[in-house]
Structure 1
Amino acid sequence: MSTTKTQPEQGELPEDTGAFAWLRALGPRGRRAFGGAFGGYALDSYDFFTLPLSMVAIAAYFSLDSGQTGLLTTVTLVVSAIGGALAGILADRIGRVRALMITVITYALFTVLCGFAPNYETLLVFRALQGLGFGGEWAVGAILVAEYATAKHRGRTLGAIQSAWAAGWALAVIVYTLVFQFLDADTAWRVMFWTGALPALLVVYVRRNVTDAPEAAERRRTSRDRGSFTAIFRKDLARTTVFAVLLSTGVQGGYYTLATWVPTYLKSERGLTVVGTGGYLAFLISGAFIGYLTGGYLTDVLGRKKNIALFAVLSAGCILAYTNIPSGADGLLLVLGFPLGFCMSAIFSGFGSFLAELYPTAVRGTGQGFTYNTGRAVGAFFPTLVGFLAGSWGVGGALVFGAVGYGLAVVALLGLPETRGRELV
């Protein structure tokens, strides 16, 4: 005969099972770290989407073909691999918070400079340098919060951090809609980049209020092999590193294909206006926001691997459905934008916790920064390939190539362990 415990024993606090138990479990310092990482990632997203949203105007201004416009995104993501790897090393050597501030300042500065570019070549260079900061912010911020989070709540906590991407994306769409409504296109795309100065305000908050998790910081300081590329390729970690790169490549190849080309697809092949495109993207982004939160919850319930596999399959299916909607069925296009955004975002919710749990504290920054951003760099060639294929296949047809990335992600999971419940310190 078994009994069920329904009341806490004397002196024992009842278990917190509320909707925001994960946030309360962080404690005061952890919540301040959460605020800094959430804001940094939201503004990282905002600065990234200034390019895809302005791509049609930029292409017209500099007389670019689809391959050249796709290269602007690719070079950002390729250089982000370098930025992410360097930021990971910095996070292991000088601390998570200091590295976070460096990444935010970097991506804000070069986003603003993009708005002053006199020609395509200069814009390409500034956008590449923006990638240095863009690549490092997520990895550093995710590790900072992961080391405060409990094993029980880590998935949904990092899922909430991921939802900041949708918040920044939404803000970019709102600003884009207003700017392109009231300014001519040749000026509007520059103004979009100039608004990328917003993250500078966040640095002030982080510097004053955020600190590294004490136990993790102490373990990092006392380790002999912190911040080392050779460490993540040593015998006990090499397999993990290789398969984590493949996983990241597949997921981000699929994602950035959509993020880069959907606005152009809606305009060039669906004939939507600026306001119409913003309305359709609103469904996509709202689905993304809910997807991040739902995926964060499911990664704690189902496990890291099952959550990623589930949404990889669903994301590939959504791409095929979204790009095969009959001409004129714009209402259906609107409705399917929600599940598309939901699935391709929910898959990311487990990344912050999964990659952090795959590596020991001393090289966690290096491991997460390298694998996530190397995958981003290789996956970055997907948008460029779509750009070149668009000439013969059309943008909609070429977007189907993104489904290949999600297939690669499922295969990569076979080489990685399940880490749900793993303690970090």
Structure 2
Amino acid sequence: MSTARTRPDSEAPAEEPGATGAFDWFRALGPRGRRAFGGAFGGYGLDSYDYFTLPLSMVAISAYFSLDNGQTGLLTTVTLVVSAVGGALAGVLADRIGRVRALMITVITYAVFTVACGFAPNYETLLVFRALQGLGFGGEWAVGAILVAEYATAKHRGRTLGAVQSAWAVGWALAVVVYTLVFAFLDADTAWRVMFWTGALPALLVVYVRRHVSDAPEAAAARRTAGAGRGSFTAIFKKDLLRVTLFATLLSTGVQGGYYTLATWVPTYLKTERGLTVVGTGGYLAFLISGAFIGYLTGGYLTDRLGRKKNIALFAVLSAFGVIAYTHIPPGANGLLLVLGFPLGFCMSAIFSGFGSFLSELYPTAVRGTGQGFTYNSGRAVGAFLPTLVGQLSDSWGVGGALVLGAVGYGLAMVALLGLPETRGKELA
């Protein structure tokens, strides 16, 4: 078992040998680390909220602009494709100017352009604003995850980053609540715009981050000593890191392709093919989201106990089977659809719990932001073509039939794991 590293941060408490409390991972962060956790958790939760304003409003947007499913799916794809650029740039910034500064830039970016989407006069403008929103959306997770990973001990890093990941479910749930209320009291043509305007909320987080959050002292010192080697795209494609970069990108492509296919099209599937109302859709999504929240926390725990690769492999298999089962429930069996939403949300989220720790541990400090930002978001960009393909095929296959393509992504993830090392217990500095 790896021992906890010591920090020059005098505020960090020493871990008690053999401590097994449920919140030891949080106490081990120390005061500065806990503030960093709060900033990263809030940033990722609001990142999720801003992202889901689109999938939840897709039916209304499609009707307002008279879009077909292919055009609607493109709104998601362009967000995720541009997020690759935003994530890669944010990773470089994190290595060059620090994690906290880069975090603030990403949060401001996605908040501003989410609000702008609500003012779009036509489909083309909405497409552009959504693409620009992707710049901030792509960078926030990678930067926030690295910020917290560098405070976390090797012993607890998996569950610590799993807890950060759980913020995605919190933001998703908040978006569903707001969506249910907004669409219940406003006509659809106005409601979808109001949903985007509520995306201004993340701006408040920047005030907290600016005042209370700082980079981990050891990581900041290591970055400074790296000199010209900091934040270099060339470095992550050199011989010693090329294999890691290629297989980590493939891993991210598979997992995120499967996830975003479901996240984008399940609300539409529930409305158009299962005949659910706005309130009914919110109820079904509540089961999916509850499963997701518990899945993130459970996956974080298993990441530390089983290892990064075994956790991802386990939930890749379970997620693939879950997608197939969820989309093949016979008509009229909506009760079973409700019940299966929980395990589906659990599995498709638990697989992400190891990503923050795994990708952080695969790269040295000087290019950790660049490596994690590039691999996670490039994978998201390539995987983003699955939602568009589902949109194209749904006209002939139906949304439920086309959603099965999400299982293909999880198969790619299994292949990618063969080329990556296990990193459990690795010290970052």
TM-score band w.r.t. shorter chain: over 0.9
CA distance in 2, matches of 1:405, 1:283: 23
Output aligned runs, 1:9-20, within 5 Å.
Answer: 13=16, 15-20=18-23
CA distance in 2, matches of 1:61, 1:201: 31
CA distance change for structure 1 residues 13 and 155 in 2, over 3 Å: closer, same or farther?
A: closer
| Matched residue, 2:376 | 372
Aligned to 1:184: 187
Deviation of 1:17 after TM superposition, in Å, equals 1.6
Of 362, 385, 388 in structure 2, the residue corresponding to residue 381 of structure 1 is 385
1:171-191 CA distances to partner (integer Å, 9 max, x unpaired)? 000000000000000000000
* CA distance 1:272–1:27, shift in 2 (3 Å): same
- What is aligned with 1:175? 178
* Aligned mates of 1:200, 1:407 — CA distance in 2: 38
The gaps in structure 2 that reach 5 residues or longer are 1-13
Among 37, 60, 69, the alignment partner of 1:66 is 69
Q: Secondary structure at the match of 1:400?
A: helix
Find the aligned partners of 1:15 and 1:96 in 2 and give their Cα distance.
Answer: 32
Q: Is 2:210 the partner of 1:213? A: no
**1:122-144 per-position Cα deviation (integer Å, ceiling 9, x unaligned):** 00000000000000000000000
Q: What is the aligned counterpart of 2:401 among 397, 404, 412?
A: 397
Per-residue deviation, 1:12: 10
Tell me the residue number matched to 2:247: 243
Equivalent position of 1:326 in the other structure: 330
Matched, 1:85 2:88: yes
Give the aligned partner of residue 422 of structure 1. Answer: 426
Q: Does 1:204 align with 2:207?
A: yes
Q: How many residues align?
A: 415
Tell me the equivalent position of 1:301: 305
> Which residue of structure 2 lines up, in the alignment, with residue 223 of structure 1?
226
SS in 2 for 1:270: coil
Number of the residue aligned with 1:105: 108
Q: Deviation digits for residues 77-119 of structure 1, max 9, x if unmatched? A: 0000000000000000000000000000000000000000000
Structure 2 counterpart of 1:277, from 259, 271, 281: 281
| Distance in 2 of aligned mates of 1:413 and 1:378 | 18
Structure 2 Cα separation of the partners of residues 168 and 314 of structure 1 = 24
Q: Take 1:368 and 1:267, find their aligned partners in 2: how far apart are those partners?
A: 36
1:306 Cα deviation from its structure 2 partner: 0.4
How does 1:22-33 map onto structure 2 within 5 Å? 22-33=25-36
Partners of 2:331 and 2:145 in 1: CA distance? 41
Alignment of 1:113-152 (within 5 A): 113-152=116-155
Q: 1:353 to 1:12 in 2, by over 3 A?
A: closer
The 1:302–1:393 alpha-carbon spacing in structure 2 relative to 1, beyond 3 Å, is same
Letter of the aligned partner of 2:57 in structure 1? S
Amino acid across the alignment from 2:377: N
Shift of 1:15: 3.9
What SS does structure 2 have at the residue aligned with 1:422? Answer: coil
Deviation at 1:14, TM superposition (A): 5.0
| Equivalent residue number for residue 265 of structure 1 | 269
In structure 2, C-alpha distance between the alignment counterparts of 1:422 and 1:88, rounded to whole Å = 21
- In structure 1, stretches of 5+ residues that fail to align are 1-10
Q: Deviations over 1:199-258 (max 9, x none)?
A: 000000000000000001100111031100000001100000000000000000000000
8 A contact 2:45–2:168 mirrored in 1: yes
AA matched with 2:366: A
Residue 3 of structure 2 is matched in structure 1 by none
Conserved 8 A contact 2:108-2:202: yes
1:7 is matched with which residue?
none
Find the counterpart in structure 1 of residue 47 from structure 2.
Answer: 44
User: Please, which of 211, 232, 248 is the counterpart of residue 236 of structure 2?
Assistant: 232
Measure the CA separation in 2 of the matches of 1:22 and 1:263.
35
Tell me how far 1:13 sits from its aligned partner. Answer: 4.9
Structure 2 contact 166–297 (Cα < 8 Å) conserved:
yes
Which 4+ residue blocks in structure 1 deviate beyond 2 angstroms? 11-16
Q: Which amino acid aligns with 2:395?
A: G
Q: Does 1:409 align with 2:413?
A: yes
Matches within 5 A, 1:311-350: 311-350=315-354
Q: 134-143 or 12-21: which moved more? A: 12-21
CA distance in 1 between counterparts of 2:183 and 2:392 reads 27
User: Whole-Å Cα distance in 2 between the matches of residues 210 and 159 of structure 1?
Assistant: 20
Would the alpha carbon gap of residues 119 and 12 (structure 1) be closer, same or farther in structure 2, given more than 3 Å must change? closer
Quote the RMSD (CA, aligned, Å). Answer: 0.9
Cα distance in 2 for residues equivalent to 1:233 and 1:186: 47
2:198 is matched with 195
2:160 corresponds, among 148, 153, 157, to: 157
* Contact 2:15/2:28 (8 A) holds in 1: no
One-letter code aligned to 1:51: L
Q: Secondary structure at the match of 2:240?
A: coil
CA shift in 2, pair 1:283/1:13, >3 Å? closer
